[in-house]
Amino acid sequence: MKSFSNSLTNYHTFSIIHQDLILKKNYQNVNQLPKFKAVILNTGTKVILEDKKRLIPHLLAMEFISAQKTKQIQAKIAVASFYLQKGNWIGWKTTLRNYKMFEFLTIFVTKVLSSIEFFSGISESNIDSSGNIQIGIDNPLVFNELDFHFEAFEHVQGMNITIQTTAKTREESKLLISGIQIPTIN
């Protein structure tokens, strides 16, 4: 097994959560345990189509939050009702795996979720049948990476965070994310 950083999430995943899951779900071997596969961050907004000057702050915000380069998402088809032409930039996407994924989850759980004012937990409807978790962030300024340049990012709109797991059911996914202290609500 590769050695990751001493992040809180990594420690919990490999030392505490695995033992809890084995006791709660009675798995036959360690390879059956659900694990975190990837964290996908994406953002897209209509504002980019209307004002090209807002393109750079959205791009930089995604790169500051993810700490890596992002991939641009282009429109695959033209949609006249949205004034969208084929090939226009409509957003950015980045995938975090291994070390960067655990670092992001550590920051997300310890700093971001605690700074969201009315966050009570992730609804069960945000967990799909294959165990992936979808979280929407309305205001990306809750990330400390954007605080230092508040003026540049005050018009940046929300983003979607998808946590991919190897869980086969919603229950396994709920146990996995509750192990890293992300609460779920019914």
In tens, the pLDDT along 37-82 reads: 899 988 877 666 666 677 777 778 788 888 888 887 777 777 776 6
pLDDT confidence band for 8 (50 / 70 / 90) = low
- Distance from C-alpha of 25 to C-alpha of 82, rounded to nearest angstrom: 48
Question: pTM value?
Answer: 0.80
92-113 b/e with 16+ CB inside 10 Å = b? bbbbbeeebbbbbbbbbbeebb
> Is residue 65 within 8 Å of residue 140, measured between CB atoms?
yes
Taking residues 72-97, report their average pLDDT.
76
Distance CA 124, CA 145 (A): 29
Whether the CB-CB separation of 40 and 93 falls below 8 Å is answered with yes
**Looking at the domain that runs over 8-185, which CATH code has it been given?**
3.30.1440.10
CA 117 and chain centroid, separation = 18
| 86 contacts 119 by C-beta, under 8 angstroms | no
Gap between the Cα atoms of 117 and 17, Å rounded: 27
pLDDT of residue 1 exceeding 50 = no
What phi and psi, each to the nearest 5 degrees, are found at residue 162? -115, 125
Neighbours of 90 (CB within 10 A): 18
What span, in angstroms and rounded, lies between the C-alpha atoms of 97 and 104?
10
Q: Which is higher by pLDDT, 89 or 67?
A: 67
Distance CA 163, CA 167 (A): 11
- Round to whole Å and give the CA distance between 133 and 16: 21
